[in-house]
């Protein structure tokens, strides 16, 4: 059974198939391929979109969900992660995990005979980026030759964007303050394969000619207060940033958003913003991801 831990584990065809299936199932009836499947959701961190879109999606596909929230489960606390994995495989058919350490989910998936889906770790957020790629395809067509501009923090969502850019070979401009840089191992890996990833500390240059402008909260869950927000101020996505992008450019944010911090209210509520389509697409993307995990050989 394949896992869905990081986008870089997928081939280009696998990722494109997941995107196509997400769009197909958004627009037409799908089989209830999860009938009688039991899915355990381990959420060590709060969630609105990820948790509810997984629960609704699994129920729509005929399956059943069992939630372990942060009060009930901190991986590795009451027993080893390996023991938790070996117990759950006696009951369930799939495990969805949102946890802090990426090594925890890797450890879990290494011993588990069940498919494991990454619902966010401190390192990456691949389900989010599949939904984002679906949203771009819906609004702008093929991802080929598209230019994506990322603003602000170099966080787990950006990590998955970098991996997507390498696999699908599109341009990714990263606009971030000096001293805030993406994971160095990732950049070194990416640069060996794809020369289309650029880091730029001049915000107005980052969105020049972009098809899609993206930002995220400046301080991710667990990182609050670690860096002064002032350093991010020039990287707020506002009308000056959007003016540099193409006229038909879209604005995306994985939400939750902090209005007039990482994005101005005007842009978030403006006609280029597709943030609620993006949130809806979590549901469709995750159905295709679960199909990949349960039906690939
Ligand atoms: N974007 C995202 O993952 O939202 P939640 O934290 O609400 O799941």
Q: What is the pLDDT of residue 78?
A: 93
Q: Are residues 82 and 166 in the same domain?
A: no
Which DSSP symbol is given to 33?
Answer: T
Distance 252 CA to ligand 1 centre (A): 14
Range of the structural domain that residue 36 is part of? 7-124+282-295
DSSP letters spanning 219-249: S-TTTTTSS-GGGGGGG-B-HHHHHHS-TT-
The share of the chain scoring above pLDDT 90, in percent, equals: 91
Q: Give the whole-angstrom CA distance, residue 50 versus residue 46.
A: 9
Please tell me the residue having the least CA distance from ligand 1 atom 6: 47
Residue from 135, 160, 254 whose mutation best tests the ligand 1 pocket (most atoms within 8 A of CB)? 254
Q: Are residues 191 and 223 in the same domain?
A: yes
Residue 2 lies in a domain: no
Q: Are residues 11 and 150 in the same domain?
A: no
Q: Give the whole-angstrom CA distance, residue 201 versus residue 171.
A: 17
Residue 156 lies in a domain: yes
Burial 83-122 (b: 16+ CB within 10 A, else e): ebbeebeeebbbbbbbbbebebbbbbbeebebbbbbbbbb
Kindly report, residue by residue over 95-126, the tens digit of the pLDDT: 999 999 999 999 999 999 999 999 999 999 99
The half-sphere exposure of 96 on its side-chain side, counting CA atoms within 13 A, is: 31
Q: What is the pLDDT of residue 203?
A: 96
Q: Which atom of ligand 1 is nearest to the CA of 279?
A: 1
Q: Which atom of ligand 1 is nearest to the CA of 53?
A: 8
Residue 48 class from Cβ within 10 Å (0-12 exposed, 13-18 middle, 19+ buried)? exposed
Distance 255 CA to ligand 1 centre (A): 6
Please tell me the residue having the least CA distance from ligand 1 atom 3: 50
Q: Are residues 62 and 131 in the same domain?
A: no
Predicted confidence band of residue 250 (pLDDT cuts 50, 70, 90): very high
Q: Are residues 118 and 260 in the same domain?
A: no
CA 126 centroid distance within chain: 4
Residue from 45, 47, 70 whose mutation best tests the ligand 1 pocket (most atoms within 8 A of CB)? 47
Q: Are residues 80 and 139 in the same domain?
A: no
Q: Is the pLDDT of residue 42 over 60?
A: yes
Q: What is the pLDDT of residue 221?
A: 66
Of residues 128, 99, 235, the one with CA closest to residue 180: 235
Q: Residue 46 in contact with residue 98, Cβ under 8 Å?
A: no
Q: Is the pLDDT of residue 245 over 90?
A: yes
The mean pLDDT of 136-162, rounded to a whole number, is 96
Q: Which atom of ligand 1 is nearest to the CA of 127?
A: 3
Q: Are residues 132 and 119 in the same domain?
A: no
Q: Residue 153 in contact with residue 219, Cβ under 8 Å?
A: yes
Distance 128 CA to ligand 1 centre (A): 8
Q: Which atom of ligand 1 is nearest to the CA of 98?
A: 8
Structural domains in the chain (count):
2
H/E segment holding residue 151: strand 147-151
Q: Is the pLDDT of residue 136 over 90?
A: yes
The share of the chain scoring above pLDDT 70, in percent, equals: 98
Q: Across all residues in the chain, what is the average pLDDT?
A: 95
Residue from 282, 286, 289 whose mutation best tests the ligand 1 pocket (most atoms within 8 A of CB)? 282
Q: Is the pLDDT of residue 297 over 70?
A: no
The set of protein residues with a Cβ atom below 6 angstroms from ligand 1 is: 47-50, 120, 128, 254-255
Residue 1 lies in a domain: no
Kindly report, residue by residue over 158-195, the tens digit of the pLDDT: 999 999 999 999 999 999 999 999 999 999 999 999 88
Q: What is the pLDDT of residue 73?
A: 87
Q: Are residues 131 and 259 in the same domain?
A: yes
Q: Are residues 80 and 179 in the same domain?
A: no
Q: Is the pLDDT of residue 227 over 90?
A: no
Q: Which atom of ligand 1 is nearest to the CA of 51?
A: 8
Tokens of 67: 């939630």
Q: Check which CATH number belongs to the domain holding 45 and give it.
A: 3.40.50.1370
Residue 70 class from Cβ within 10 Å (0-12 exposed, 13-18 middle, 19+ buried)? middle
Q: Are residues 132 and 269 in the same domain?
A: yes
Q: Residues near 82 by Cβ (< 8 Å), separated by ≥ 6?
A: 107, 108, 111
Q: Which atom of ligand 1 is nearest to the CA of 221?
A: 6
Distance 69 CA to ligand 1 centre (A): 14
Residue 188 lies in a domain: yes
Residue 209 lies in a domain: yes
Counted residue by residue, the chain has a size of: 297
Q: Are residues 163 and 85 in the same domain?
A: no
Predicted confidence band of residue 12 (pLDDT cuts 50, 70, 90): very high
Q: Are residues 44 and 164 in the same domain?
A: no
> Which is more confident, 227 or 236?
236
């Amino acid at each position: 059974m394949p896992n869905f831990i990081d986008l870089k584990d997928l081939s280009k065809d696998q990722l494109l198939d997941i995107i196509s299936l997400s769009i197909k199932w958004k627009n037409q009836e799908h089989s209830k391929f999860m009938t009688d499947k039991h899915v355990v959701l381990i959420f060590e961190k709060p969630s609105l979109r990820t948790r509810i879109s997984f629960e609704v999606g699994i129920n729509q596909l005929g399956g059943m969900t069992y939630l372990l929230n942060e009060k009930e489960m901190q991986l590795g606390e009451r027993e080893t992660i390996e023991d938790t994995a070996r117990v759950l495989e006696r009951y369930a058919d799939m495990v969805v995990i949102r946890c802090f350490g990426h090594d925890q989910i890797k450890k879990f998936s290494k011993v588990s005979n069940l498919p494991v889906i990454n619902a966010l770790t401190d390192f990456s957020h691949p389900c989010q980026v599949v939904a984002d790629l679906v949203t771009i395809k819906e609004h702008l067509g093929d991802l080929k030759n598209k230019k994506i501009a990322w603003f602000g923090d170099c966080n787990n969502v950006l990590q998955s964007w970098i991996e997507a850019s390498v696999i699908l070979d599109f341009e990714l401009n990263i606009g971030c303050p000096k001293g805030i840089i993406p994971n160095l191992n990732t950049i070194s890996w990416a640069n060996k394969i794809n020369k289309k990833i650029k880091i730029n500390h001049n915000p107005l240059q980052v969105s020049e000619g972009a098809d899609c402008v993206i930002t995220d909260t400046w301080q991710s869950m667990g990182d609050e207060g670690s860096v002064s927000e002032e350093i991010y101020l020039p990287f707020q996505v506002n009308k000056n940033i959007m003016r540099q992008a193409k006229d038909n450019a879209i604005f995306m944010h994985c939400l939750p958003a902090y209005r007039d911090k990482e994005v101005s209210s005007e842009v978030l509520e403006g006609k280029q913003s597709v943030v609620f389509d993006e949130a809806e697409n979590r549901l469709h993307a995750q159905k295709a991801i679960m199909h990949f995990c349960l039906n690939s050989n």
